[in-house]
Amino acid sequence: MKDLFDRIIQNKGPLGKWADQAEGYFVFPKLEGPISNRMQFKGKEVITWSVNDYLGLANHPEVREVDAAAAAEYGSAYPMGARMMSGHTELHEQLENELAEFVNKEAAYLLNFGYQGILSTIDTLVSKNDVIVYDVDAHACIIDGVRLHMGKRFTYKHNDIESLEKNLIRATKVAAQTDGGILVISEGVFGMRGEQGRLKEIAALKSKYNFRFLVDDAHGFGTLGKNGAGAGFEQGIQDDIDVYFATFAKSMASTGAFIAADREIINFLKYNMRSQMFAKSLQMVLVKGALKRLDMLRNRPEIKAKLWENVNALQTGLKDRGFDIGSTQSCVTPVYLKGSIPEAMVLVRDLRENFGIFCSIVVYPVIPKGLILLRLIPTASHNLEDVAITLDAFSSIRERLEQGVYQRQSETIQAV
Ligand SMILES: Cc1ncc(COP(=O)(O)O)c(C=O)c1O
C-alpha cells in the first residue's frame, strides 16, 4: 500500500512540474503598488496588462473612499453568520434589488465568491434526473459544478451550435426517460480567448428544445451591453437567459458575485443553495463597495467608453502589425505565438525585464502544445501611450522569437 502523499510528491502536476523555474516570476508573481496601468514588479515599473480591473475602479478615488468609510464603520466582520441565520441586512437586500434591476431580472441573490457560487448554483438547480449540456471550454468553476451533478451531462464543442444541437437531441431523449429537465450552460465571454458565447444562437434553440439557460458573464458584466449590463444585452437576448451570473472580481474590482433570475427561482436558491446557507454572509465592506461600484457602472458611461478606446487601440494595433489575436469579441486580448514552454519563459522574462511589459502567459495544457498565449487585459486606467509602448515591444519580441534567440537561451531550461 502506498502512502497517500507518494503520488503528490512524485507527480507535481502539469503546471507544478515547472515550479522551480516559474514560481515567483511566471506564477505567483508579486505585483506591487496601487492597482493601475503601471505597477511595480521586482522593484521596476511595468505596464500592467494582467489585471481584470476592466473599468479601473480598483483604485478610483471615490471607490476607495467608500471602501475606507465602510471598513471604518463596520470593520471586516460584520455581519456575522450565514444570511439565513444572522447575516442578513437591509443593504444586502438593497444591493440585490439594484443588481436585479440593472440586469433586468426579477430578483438577485448575493454569492460570497464567484467560483463556489456558480458551482453551488449548478448543484442546486439540477436533480439527478436532469441533464446538463455545457460548452467544453467552460471555466473550471462550471466544470466543478457539473462534477457535483449525479445525473447525465454532455459537452458540446466550443461555441459550436451544431454540436450543441446534437447534444440537445441526446439530452432530450435522456430527460424524457428520466422525467427530468435540461440545463444549458455557456459563458458570456470566454476569458482566455475573449470570444463571446453564442448566446443569441443558443437562445434561438429554445423554440425547438425545452431547456433552461445559465450564463456565466464574469467578463461581460461591466464591459458589454447597455451601461455594461452584460453579454445578454450586447446580443439582445437578456430575457432568454434564465439564470444570469456575474462576479464582482473583474469589472467591479472587488470580491463577491451574484445570480439573477425570476423571483421564484431566486427564492428556491436562497433556501437550498448550500454554499450560501452554510457560509458566512458577504461582508458589509464588500456590499457597500459593490453599491458604489454599481452606481459608477450605471452613471459614468465615460469610464466604459475609455475602456473601449484602449481595447480598440490595442487590438487594432496588434492586428495591423500582423499579430494573431484569434477571434476575440471582448476586452480580453490574446496574442498567439508559436513556441515551446521554455521559449515562452525566456520571452516573458525579456518582456518584463527589458521592455517593462507585464502580461500573463498561458501555455499547455490550457492551450495546445507548441503555442504560447500572451493574454492582455486593457482597462480604463490604461492610456494610448501604454498601448504604443506595448505594440513596439511586441514587434521586438516577435522578431527575436523568429530569429531563434529565445530558443537558444532556453536550452538549459527543463521541467523537474
Ligand atoms: C468565467 C468565470 N467564472 C467565474 C469566475 C470566478 O469568480 P470569482 O473570482 O469571483 O470566484 C471566474 C474568475 O474569476 C471566471 O473567469
| Residue 324 backbone dihedrals phi, psi, to 5 degrees | -90, 110
Q: Report d(CA 290, CA 377) in Å as an integer.
A: 22
Do both 165 and 313 map to the same domain?
no
Residues 78 and 226 in one domain: yes
Query: What pLDDT score does 327 carry?
Result: 95
Q: Give dist(CA 166, CA 163) in Å, integer.
A: 5
193/258 same-domain check: yes
Nearest-angstrom CA–CA distance, 55 and 62: 13
Specify the amino acid at residue 166. Answer: K
User: Which domain-ending residue is among 299, 328, 360?
Assistant: 299
Question: Would you say residue 414 lies in a domain?
Answer: no
Residues 280 and 355 in one domain: no
pLDDT at 414: 60
Q: Indicate if 378 and 313 belong to the same structural domain.
A: yes
Asked, for residue 415, whether it belongs to a domain, the answer is: no
Of all protein residues, whose CA lies closest to atom 14 belonging to ligand 1? 249
- pLDDT value of position 118: 97
Ligand 1 site, residue 83, Cβ cutoff 6 A: no
Does 234 map to a domain?
Answer: yes
| Domain's final residue, options 299, 322, 339 | 299
What CATH number is attached to the domain comprising 311? 3.90.1150.10
Q: Is residue 416 part of a domain?
A: no
Which residue has its alpha carbon closest to ligand 1 atom 8?
114
DSSP string, 69-123: HHHHHHTTTPSPS-TTTT---HHHHHHHHHHHHHTT-SEEEEES-HHHHHHHHHH
- Residue 233 belongs to some domain of the structure: yes
Do 375 and 236 reside in the same domain of the chain?
no
CATH of residue 97: 3.40.640.10
234 in the same domain as 185: yes
Distance from C-alpha of 205 to C-alpha of 196, rounded to nearest angstrom: 17
pLDDT digits (tens, 9 = 90+) for 316-374: 999 999 999 999 999 999 999 999 988 998 999 999 999 999 999 888 877 888 999 99
Mean pLDDT in consecutive groups of 10 residues from the start of the chain, 416 residues: 92 82 88 97 97 98 98 97 97 98 98 97 98 97 97 98 98 98 98 96 98 98 95 98 98 98 98 97 98 97 98 98 97 96 92 96 84 96 98 97 92 64
Strands (E) located in 217-359: 243-247, 257-261, 333-338, 357-358
- Structural domain span for residue 136: 62-299
Domain boundary among 242, 276, 299: 299
236 and 307 together in one domain: no
Q: Is the CB of 115 under 6 A from ligand 1?
A: yes
Q: 141 CB less than 6 Å from ligand 1?
A: yes
Closest ligand 1 atom number to CA of residue 190: 1
Q: Which residues contact 408 (CB under 8 A, 6 or more apart)?
A: none
Q: Is any atom of ligand 1 closer than 6 Å to the C-beta of 187?
A: yes
Residues 82 and 142 in one domain: yes
CA of 399 to the centre of ligand 1 (A): 35
Q: Cα dihedral sign for 12, 18, 23, 27?
A: negative
Contact by Cβ (8 Å): 276, 288: no
Pair (285, 335) in one structural domain? no
* pLDDT, tens only, 281-327: 999 999 999 999 999 999 999 999 999 999 999 999 999 999 999 99
Residue 375 covered by a domain: yes
Domain count, the chain: 2
- Residue 42 sits in the same domain as residue 92: no
Cβ proximity of 394 and 323 under 8 Å? yes
* Any ligand 1 atom below 6 A from CB of 386: no
> What is the atom index within ligand 1 of the atom nearest the CA of 191?
16
- Asked if residue 307 lies in contact with residue 379, where contact means CB atoms within 8 angstroms, the answer is yes
Kindly give the number of the ligand 1 atom that is closest to the alpha carbon of 117. Answer: 11
Tell me if 191 CB under 6 Å of ligand 1.
Answer: yes
191 is a domain residue: yes
Q: Examine the domain organization and report whether 189 and 263 are in the same domain.
A: yes
User: Is 26 among the domain residues?
Assistant: yes
User: Residue 112 CA to chain centroid, in angstroms?
Assistant: 15
Q: Give the residue from 361, 342, 356 showing the smallest Cα distance to 393.
A: 356
d(CA 350, CA 356): 9
Ligand 1 closest atom vs CA 187: 1
